[in-house]
């Protein structure tokens, strides 16, 4: 599977994943919510590190594509 997560998205996923992992470790909400937070944290951290997301692949989203800056004739002429 090709990389489909851009650099900004990767940073957000890793930071949120670490935050959720800390909350799950501290068991802020004991029981099922802790398990859900831990699984979600693991998914976010793994996808952030690998830059590949299966959900993005299914819905055909690619945040790794960077738009090229718009170039006008004036820019190329040096004006």
Residue 7 lies in a domain: yes
20 pLDDT exceeds 60?
Answer: yes
pTM: 0.77
Residue at 74 is within a domain: no
> Is 37 among the domain residues?
yes
Provide the pLDDT for residue 61: 87
For 9, the domain range is 1-59
Per-residue buried b or exposed e for 31-64, using 16+ beta carbons within 10 Å of the residue's own CB: eeebeebbeebebbbebbeebbbeebeeeeeebb
Q: Is residue 70 part of a domain?
A: no
How far is residue 16's CA from residue 9's CA, in Å, rounded to a whole number?
11
Residue 68 in any domain: the answer is: no
Q: Report yes or no on 22 lying in a domain.
A: yes
Residue 67: inside a domain: no
Q: What is the pLDDT of residues 23-79, one digit of tens each?
A: 999 999 999 999 999 999 999 999 999 999 999 899 988 888 766 566 555 555 555
Confidence of residue 1 (pLDDT cuts 50, 70, 90): confident
């Amino acid at each position: 599977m090709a990389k489909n997560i851009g650099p900004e998205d990767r940073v957000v996923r890793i930071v949120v994943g670490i935050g959720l992992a800390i909350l799950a470790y501290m068991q802020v909400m004991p029981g099922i919510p802790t398990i859900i937070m831990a699984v979600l944290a693991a998914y976010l951290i793994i996808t952030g590190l690998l830059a590949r997301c299966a959900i993005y692949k299914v819905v055909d989203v690619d945040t790794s594509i960077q738009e090229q800056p718009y170039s006008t004739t004036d820019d190329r002429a040096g004006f």
